[in-house]
Homo-oligomer: A and B are copies of this chain.
Amino acid sequence: MPGAMEDIMSEKEAEESHRQDSANLLLFILLLTLTILSIWLFKHRRFRFLHESGLAMVYGLLAGVVLRYGIHVPTDVNNVTLSCELEDSPATLLINVSGKFYEYTMRSEISPKDINNVHDNEMLQKVTFDPEVFFNILLPPIIFYAGYSLKRRHFFRNLGSILAYAFIGTVISCIVIGLIMYGCVKLMALIGQLNGDFYFTDCLLFGAFISATDPVTVLAIFNELQADVDLYALLFGESVLNDAVAIVLSSSIVAYQPVGVGSHNFDVSAMFKSFGLFLGIFSGSFALGSATGVVTALVTKFTKLRDFQLLETALFFLMSWSTFLLAEACGFTGVVAVLFCGITQAHYTYNNLSPESRIRTKQLFELLNFLAENFIFSYMGLTLFTFESHAFNPTFIVAAFLAVFLGRAANIYPLSFLLNLGRRKKIGSNLQHMMMFAGLRGAMAFALAIRDTATYARQMMFSTTLLIVFFTVWVFGGGTTQMLSWLQIRVGVDPDQEHSANLDHSQQDGSEGDQRNTKAESAWLFRLWYTFDHNYLKPILTHSGPPLTTTLPGWCGPIARFLTSPLAYQNQEQLKDDDSDLILNDGDISLTYGDSSLTTTSDRRNLIQNLEDAQEQELASGEHELVIRGTRLVLPVENTEPAFDLKLPESPGPQLM
C-alpha cells in the first residue's frame, strides 16, 4: 500500500527531525552545564578576568569549531526540486501527489548559489535557530528581570541623567555611527570592495543595533566589589532603557518607506512617519507594560492569594508573560512592554506579595535570566562558525570599531557636560571615562543584528556585530577591575551609608532642613511624580498609607473606601521599602537611620578590617539605643573613609535629580 509506505516514510522523517532537534538542544545544555561548572570554579578561585558571559561565548566558540570542522554527517537526499511556473511565492501550497493532497508551508528563500549545497548545509543549518526565538523566548526573561531587580532608589535619584543617556545618547550614537559607516561604505565602493548594496538606512540601522549596550559583565563586577552606586545606577539604567530604545529605533528605521522609486532616498514625510512610529510603539509598549503591572497589583491587593504561594507565584508569572504576548498581539514590542511591566511589578505588586512569594518570584526570574543569558552568549560563540553567510571585510570592521568608539564618546561626554550643569552631584570625569569603557555590547545587539540577514549589507553588519561583541565582552569585561583602580573609582561603598552621608550634610540645617533640602534637591517634575505616587498610586495599588479616604476629595468617598486597604490606616506612612526610600520622611530620622544601618549589615563585607570590629559592637549594642535616643546621630562609621590605595572622587555634594 503506497499510501502506508508514504505515511511511514514521513513519520520516519518527522522522527529523524525530532531526534536532531533534541540533539541540538542537548548540545546547548552541555555548553551551559560546562559554563556553570566553570563559573563555580572561577568564583571558587576569585578569578575575575573572565565573566560568565565571556565564558559561555568561549564554549560556544569551541563547540562551533568542532561542529564546523570536526563533524561531517552525510545527510539523506530527501529534497525534490520542482520547477513550476508561478506568479508569486505563496505562503502555503497544496500539492497533488497521485490523488493525495499535501499542504506545504514556506520556509525560507534559498539563494541560487546554495541550491546544490542544501545537503551539506543541513547539519549546520539545524543548529541555527530562527532569530525570532531570541525575541520571543530568550530576551523577555532577561529584560523583565532587569526591570524587576532594578535598584529603584538610585535609579530614580539619577532618573534624568539616565533618560538623557538612554534616549538622546542612543540617538546621537546611532547617527554618529551611521554617518561614519556611510563614509566607510562609500570608500569601500570607491576602492571596489563592496559586493552588494549598502544604503544609508542600512548604516543607520547598524548604528541602532550597535548602540544597545549590555554591561552585564561590568555590572556583575561592580556588584561584587561594591563600586560607586551612582555609576552603577547610571550604567544599569542606561543599558536597560537603551535596549528598549534600540529595538524601537531599529523597527522605525526598517519601517522607513519613502514614496518614490528610490526606496532609500531622503523623504521628510517618511522620516516623520518613522519618528511617529517610534513614539507610538514606545508609548504603547510602555502603557501596556505598566497596565499589566497595575492589574497584577490590584489583583494581589484585593484577593487573599497570599495564603497560597504557589497560586500567587503562578499568577505573577502568567501575568508578566501575558504582557509580552499582549504587546506582540497588538503590534507593539513585547520586550519593551516587559521591561516596564517589570519595573511596575517591582514598585507596586511586590509590596502586595507574601514574603515567600517575593522570594519565589525573584528566584524564578533570576534562574530564567541566568539560563537565557548564558544560552544567548553560548549561541553567539557558536554562530561565529555555524552561520552560513558571514561577510567579513577588514575595512568595514576597522571603521566599525572606530565608529563605536566615537559614537560612545559623542554620547557620554557632551551629555555629561550638559547634565553636570544641572546636577548637584556632578558626574566626575573618571566616572565618565568608566562609562565610556563600560559600553560593552551583548545580547540585544546580537539579537537585533541576527534578526534579518537576508541581504549582503545585513550579513556584513551581523558579522561585524559579532566581532564587536566578542571584543568588548572579553577585553573590556576582563579589564574592568584594572580600569576601576586606574580611574580611582571608589569601591566598597555602602549604598545606605552613602545615602546617609549625603543627608548628613543636609541635616546641619536643622530638623526642617531635610524636607526643604529634599525639595530643593529634587527636580520639580520628579517631586510632582513622587507626590502623586506617594499619595495616590501607592495607596490605590498597595496596602500602604496614607489612606485614600483622607487624600481624595469628598465626592470620591465610596470609591476611596473601596480602594483603601484596612492596612493603610495603620501604615500612615509609606511602607518601608529599602529600594524606595527616596526621600526621608518627616518622622523619626534616627529610626530610619537605624533601620538603614541595620539593613546594611550584609553590605559591610568589603569594608576594611579595622572598621568591622567597631561596627559589630555598634550594631550589637546599638539597635535599641538608636531607637530610644531619638536624635539625629552621626555614627562614627560614616566619617571614616576606607583606607584603600584608591583615592576619593571629587567631593560629593548633596544629590540633585
Contact = CB atoms under 8 A, between A and B. Distances in A.
Given A95-B93, A96-B83, A304-B44, A310 B366 contact: yes
B109 A103 contact: yes
A89 B102 contact: yes
A325 B25 contact: yes
A79 B91 contact: yes
A86 interface: yes
A132 interface: yes
A263 B7 CA distance: 14
Interface stretch (A15-23, A188-196, A438-446): A15-23
A226 to B, nearest CB: 19
Given A83-B96, A97-B89, A367-B314, A303 B106 contact: no
Contacts of A93: 79-82, 93, 95, 104
Contact of A32 (B36, B44, B310, B318): B318
Interface in A1-35: 1, 4, 6-7, 10, 13, 18-19, 22-23, 25-26, 29-30, 32-33
A305 B103 contact: no
Given A10-B89, A86-B97, A88-B80, A328 B107 contact: no
A370 interface: yes
A105 interface: yes
A25 B103 CA distance: 24
A287 interface: no
Interface in A91-123: 91-98, 100-112, 115, 118
A604 interface: no
A308 interface: yes
Contacts of A97: 86-89
Interface in A611-651: none
Contact of A107 (B44, B78, B104, B363): B104
Q: Which 3 A-B pairs have the closest CB atoms?
A: A104-B104, A80-B90, A22-B328
Given A79-B92, A93-B93, 16 more contacts: A10-B91, A22-B328, A22-B334, A25-B325, A26-B325, A82-B84, A84-B84, A86-B98, A87-B97, A89-B100, A89-B102, A92-B107, A94-B110, A94-B118, A100-B109, A101-B109
Interface of A: 1, 4, 6-7, 10, 13, 18-19, 22-23, 25-26, 29-30, 32-33, 36-37, 39-40, 43-44, 78-98, 100-112, 115, 118, 132, 136, 263, 299, 303-305, 308, 310-311, 313-315, 317-319, 321-322, 324-326, 328-331, 334, 360, 363-364, 366-367, 370-371, 454
10 contacts: A6-B88, A19-B330, A23-B325, A37-B299, A40-B311, A43-B308, A93-B104, A103-B106, A105-B107, A364-B364
